[in-house]
Amino acid sequence: MTTSTLISPPPNQVLGNAKLIGVAVAGLIAWFAVYWQLEPFSNWAVAQMPITPGSHLEEAASFFIFDTPKVLMLLALVVFAMGMVRSFFSPERTRSFLAGKREGLGNVAAASLGIFTPFCSCSAVPLFVGFVSAGVPLGVTFSFLIASPMINEVALGLLFALVGWKVALTYLSFGLAVSIFAGWVIGRLHLESWLEQWVLDVRSGSADLPTERLTIADRIHAGIEAVRDIFGRVWVWIIVGIAVGAFIHGYVPAEMLSGIMGGNHWWSVPAAVLIGIPIYSNAAGIIPVVEALLGKGAALGTVLAFMMAVTALSAPEMIILRKVLTARLIAVFIGVVTVGIMAVGFLFNALFT
C-alpha cells in the first residue's frame, strides 16, 4: 500500500496526463474524419479547375491534389505512432546491446535494430565512432548503418499505406537481407585498418546516462515531438516527390515506362540503381514516385532496387562518412551495397514475372 502511494505521481500531473491522452484520442478521431473526405474533396477540386477532363494535365493534377494531403496525413499518423514506439529504443541502448556480439547473429540484430533506432545523417559520425570504439564489430556497425536510413519505419509505414502490405513486406525483407549481407561481407574483409587513424585511437566507455521511466503521456509527447521534428525536415522532399510522381502519372506513357523499367531487360536493374545512387531523398519523398512507377507497369524488383539505392547510398552521407572512413573503405561500402541491391532486384524480377 505504502509503496504504491509513493510511486504514483502527484494528482495534478495525473490530470495533465489524462488531458493529453484525451487530446490524442480526439486528434485521432478528427484525423479519420478528414481522411475519409479526401477523395471526394480532391475530385471536386479538380473538377473546379479549367482543365479538360481526361487530359494529361488533369491526370497529373488529380494525382497531386489527392496525394499531397493523403501522404502528409499518413506521414503524420505513421510518424506519431513510431515516435511512441521509438521512445523504447535509443542509440545508446542499441550499442550496449550490440557490443561484443559476434558477427553473423550480430549483423542480423544490428539490421533489425536499425529499423527502430532513431538515426539522422547528422549524427552518423558520432554514432559510427561510438559503436566501433565500444567494441561493436565493424561489419555489425555497417549492417546498422545501412539498415537505419533504408528501412526506417516511416518508409515502411508509407509503403504499407500507399502501395500495399505485400510490397512493404517485400521491401522489409529485402532491405534486411541487403544490410545483413553487406555488413557481413565488410566484416569478413577485415578492413579495420582502413578506418581513419583517429577513429582507432578513440577509447571510450559508454556514458552512464540516468535511465528514466517514461509514462504513457511521455510517450505521446515523444510522438508529437517526432511529428513536429520529422515534418519540419521532410515536407519539402515529399512535395517534390509527389510532383515527380504526378508528372510520371500524367505524362509518361505506360508503354515507354514498362518498356524501360519492366522485367524484360537485364540492364533495367543496374540502370535504376546507378540513377538512384547520386539522388538523395528522404525515404518518405521517394514513395510517391514509387507509387507512380508501379502504377505505370514498372517491375517491382526494379522499383525497389531504385528506392534502396536512393535511400541507402547518397552523396551527402558519403561526404559525412569520409571523416571516419578512408576513401578505399567508402568505395568498398558503396560497391558491396550496390551489388547487394542489384542482386535483390534481379532475384525479385526473376522470381515474380
Partner 1 sequence: MKNVKVLGPGCKRCVATAGMVQAQADKLGVPVNIEKVTDYAAIAGYGIVSTPGIVIDGKVVHAGGLPKVEDLAKWLAAA
User: Which residues of this chain interact with partner 1, rule CB under 8 A?
Assistant: 90-92, 94-95, 118, 122-123, 125-127, 129-131, 133-134, 198-199, 201-210, 225, 323-324
Measured from the CB atom, is 169 or 202 closer to partner 1?
A: 202
Measured from the CB atom, is 17 or 206 closer to partner 1?
A: 206
* Number of alpha carbons in the 13 Å side-chain half-sphere of residue 58: 12
Residue 117 Cβ, how far from partner 1 at the closest point, in Å?
A: 9
Name the nearest CA neighbour of 107 among 314, 340, 348: 340
Residue 145 Cβ, how far from partner 1 at the closest point, in Å?
A: 12
Residue 152 Cβ, how far from partner 1 at the closest point, in Å?
A: 15
Residue 55 Cβ, how far from partner 1 at the closest point, in Å?
A: 43
Report the sign of the C-alpha dihedral through residues 192, 196, 197, 203, in that order.
negative
Residue 230 Cβ, how far from partner 1 at the closest point, in Å?
A: 12
Residue 210 Cβ, how far from partner 1 at the closest point, in Å?
A: 7
Measured from the CB atom, is 202 or 327 closer to partner 1?
A: 202
Residue 118 Cβ, how far from partner 1 at the closest point, in Å?
A: 7
* Torsions phi, psi for 195 (to 5 deg): -80, 160
Measured from the CB atom, is 95 or 249 closer to partner 1?
A: 95
Neighbours of 196 (CB within 10 A): 14
Beta-carbon contacts of residue 93 (< 8 Å; ≥ 6 apart):
none
Q: Which three cell numbers stand for residue 282?
A: 528522404
Rounded Cα distance between 278 and 95, Å, is: 30
Measured from the CB atom, is 199 or 239 closer to partner 1?
A: 199
Measured from the CB atom, is 11 or 210 closer to partner 1?
A: 210
Helix ranges, the chain (H): 2-7, 11-36, 38-48, 56-86, 91-98, 105-116, 124-133, 138-150, 153-162, 165-188, 197-201, 216-251, 254-261, 268-276, 283-295, 300-312, 315-321, 327-351
Measured from the CB atom, is 129 or 294 closer to partner 1?
A: 129
Name the nearest CA neighbour of 311 among 186, 158, 89, 83: 158
Q: How far is CA 200 from CA 132, 191, 196, 233, 333, in A?
A: 8, 12, 7, 33, 18
- List, as own/partner pairs, every contact residues 326-333 make where C-beta atoms lie below 8 angstroms and the sequence separation is at least 24, other chains included: 326/194, 326/195, 326/196, 328/194, 329/191, 329/194, 329/195, 332/186, 332/189, 332/191, 332/194, 333/142, 333/182, 333/186
Measured from the CB atom, is 1 or 207 closer to partner 1?
A: 207
98: Cα separation from own chain's centroid: 21
Residue 259 Cβ, how far from partner 1 at the closest point, in Å?
A: 44
Residue 99 Cβ, how far from partner 1 at the closest point, in Å?
A: 11
Measured from the CB atom, is 31 or 89 closer to partner 1?
A: 89
